[in-house]
Structure 1
Amino acid sequence: MGEFDLKSSTLDKGLEIAKDFVDKLIMPTVEETGLFLKDHLTMWRFSNQLKMLNKAKNLCEKHNIKTKKISLKVLVPLLEYATLEEDDSMQEKWAILLTNLIDSQQNIENHVFPYILSQLSSNEFYPMEKVYENCLVRRFETQKELKDFKTFKPSFEENMKKEIAEIDQKLNKAKQPLKYGSKLYELRTKKRHLERDLTELSYREISLKHAILRPEIVKEEDFQSFEISNLVRLGLVKEVREFFAESQTLEIPLGDEDFSEFTTYANVDLDIEMDSTTEYILTDLGELFFKACREKKTE
């Protein structure tokens, strides 16, 4: 077998075809840079890295962030993945992620976050970021409602207990129940309503606490099916399926069926039809990730 000729016309033609193909995929073209393909890609990635680092530096100055050192296990993948980002708005997210990871006032250091961000398109990231923001707003408003409720709950309870005690006194003083029948009925009805409201007052606090902890729903219609699958794969979204049975009644005749007008039937409920509902929720990992990709608020 003869020596392989790097200058052969076949190799030159192959390189030209490859170069023309790459020119259609990246900008600027190889001719404009005057570099070989490898050098061109290296320069393009280096340029992206510089832009991202400068954005991160500006964010640190904007929010007076005191930086800390982070593990190379986190930093190196982040810098590598960020260089491949072509979307300007997503490059901003890489810079924000970096600033949050190096912020000495935050305890955020997760080596999987750069990988997750590298696996998301803008069509997946921004709707999910909105889900996270809705979660923050809902929890903030519910926590405020709970705080206000706890403030006024003692006075509500005291007033209702006082009113119930007054009704009890009126009921005990009633000497002629027949003469005051309608009035006594009104008092007893009012007392039952107050006792019910008093019980619901305790349940209201429990309900608000549960509402704060409730995970945020991800609307399936906001995404393509493959995007939902990707979000589930990355652990940002979780599928929750609830099964339930629809009850059907079976009538079983008792006695002689020949005399149908005298026949009685026993009704038996049979759970024979199963169905299910599926919804998607934001996971704890998802909350931590989008928090890490959220620009720090300056007081």
Structure 2
Amino acid sequence: MSDDSNQRKIDVTSTAIEKGIDVAKGFIDKLVLPPAEELGLLIKDQISLWRFNNQVRILNKAKAVCEKNNVSVKAIPPKLLCPYLEHASLEDDDELQDKWAILLVNMVDSQQNIQNHVFPYILSQLSSDEFKLLESVLIEKERRVSELEGELSEFLENRSAIEIRLKSEVDEISQKLQSLSPDGKQVYSAEAMELRSSARSKEREIRSLEYKEFMLRRQIAAPESIPEKNIKEFEIANIIRLGLAKVVYEASAGTHSIEVPIGDRDSSYASVDFDIEIDTDTSTILTELGELFIDACREKNA
């Protein structure tokens, strides 16, 4: 190839590069204000300054929270701090910057032991709407659990007295039944039948006390469902991708009866129950990781 051809090739390539830089610079000016022309900076310098300003705002917010709550600050390893600053520098949403600041406060609080390397990454992947949704779900769970724990506490406090009362009432009924039948034979009078029915009812109440405690503890331990009514599909998919939520399946079977002929007569049938209809319900629940993450981004008041 001739020298002229090489020169022409170099000239064309150089021109293309210059035009490419101009196009990229013009585009970045639209994305980041003020424009690079006004600052007299290169594109890289402008982005670096923008990220630095985000870091400064977040660190100042964190400092204010520490002072407000008298947080005793401890040093954290660079392995944790550097990724935090890297991810935080890209956040310019004011509400999420507050969450970044609180996350840092909780990480440096000597009274806490939050050393989770994945939390900064997770926060960097969430939109403000996604975070608000998760936070509202955790708040609802805390409200529900608090209410159930109060009910359980009251129940346990009164259970013994309730049990004693019911057993005493059963004993009284037994004595009345004995008085109706001094010889020990079964009596089928209306009064005796009513007394026996009442005794069975009291015994069921006694047995139900244990079941009620079991159900209350089960409801307290149950995960919180995420309402999908006002959330977009890609948002719930992102939350699941990050491990903050998961889909659970619950199957239920419906019982149906069929009649089977028996014997020689057409009029004789046996009724048999078959579970043949199965329904599957799905729900999206907040995971333990989701709860820990949201809690790590919430301010702990002094």
Q: Does the pair score TM above 0.5?
A: yes
Residue of structure 1 in register with 2:129 after alignment: 123
RMSD: 2.9
- Alignment partner for residue 215 of structure 2, among 200, 207, 212? 207
Matches of 2:295 and 2:217, distance apart in 1: 22
Partner of 2:61: 55
Cα deviation, residue 14, structure 1: 2.5
Question: What letter matches 1:293 in structure 2?
Answer: C
Deviation at 1:8, TM superposition (A): 5.3
Report the counterpart of residue 281 of structure 1 in structure 2.
Answer: 285
Matched, 1:103 2:112: no
Q: How does 1:180-199 map to 2 (within 5 A)?
A: 181-199=189-207
In structure 1, the partner of 2:89 is 83
Using the alignment, how far apart are the partners of 2:262 and 2:163 within structure 1?
55
1:289 maps to amino acid: F
| Pair 1:33 & 2:55 matched | no
- Deviation for aligned residue 1:11: 3.7
User: How many residues of Structure 1 are paired with residues of Structure 2 in the alignment?
Assistant: 294
Change in 2 beyond 3 A, CA 1:133/1:17: same
Q: Work out the CA distance in 2 between the residues paired with 1:289 and 1:56.
A: 17
164-173 vs 288-297, which deviates more?
Answer: 164-173
Separation in 1 of the partners of 2:259 and 2:190? 45
> What does residue range 90-239 of structure 1 map to in structure 2 within 5 Å?
90-175=96-181, 181-239=189-247
Alpha-carbon shift at residue 61 of structure 1 (Å):
0.9
Q: Deviations over 1:125-159 (max 9, x none)?
A: 10111001111111111112111111111111111
Q: Distance in 1 between matches of 2:159 and 2:272?
A: 47
- Segments of 5+ residues of structure 1 without an aligned counterpart are none
Q: What TM-score results when the alignment is normalised by the length of structure 2?
A: 0.87
The answer to which of 171-180 and 49-58 deviates more is: 171-180
- Contact kept in structure 2, 1:241 and 1:279, CA below 8 Å: yes
Give secondary structure in 1 for the equivalent of 2:229. helix
Deviation string 1:184-216 (CA, Å, 9 cap, x unpaired) is 233222222111111111111111111111011
Change (3 A) 1:90 1:152: same
Higher deviation after alignment, 46-55 or 157-166: 157-166
Q: For each residue in 1:262-281, what CA deviation from the matched residue of structure 2 results, as whole angstroms up to 9, or x when unmatched?
A: 48677776666554221111
Match of 1:19 among 12, 25, 31: 25
1:63-117 CA distances to partner (integer Å, 9 max, x unpaired)? Answer: 1111122222221111111110121100100001111111111121110111111
1:194-244 per-residue CA deviation (whole Å, 9 max, x = no partner) reads 111111111111111111110111112232111111111111001111234
Cα distance between partner residues in 2 of 1:175 and 1:271 = 46
One-letter amino acid of the counterpart of residue 217, structure 1: S
Q: Distance in 2 between matches of 1:228 and 1:183?
A: 62
SS in 1 for 2:298: coil
Classify the secondary structure of the residue corresponding to 1:120.
coil
1:255 touches 1:263 (CA, 8 Å); kept in 2?
Answer: no
Q: Is the 8 A contact 2:180 2:187 kept in 1?
A: no
Cα distance in 2 between the residues matched to 1:34 and 1:245: 71
- 5+ residue gaps in structure 2? 1-5
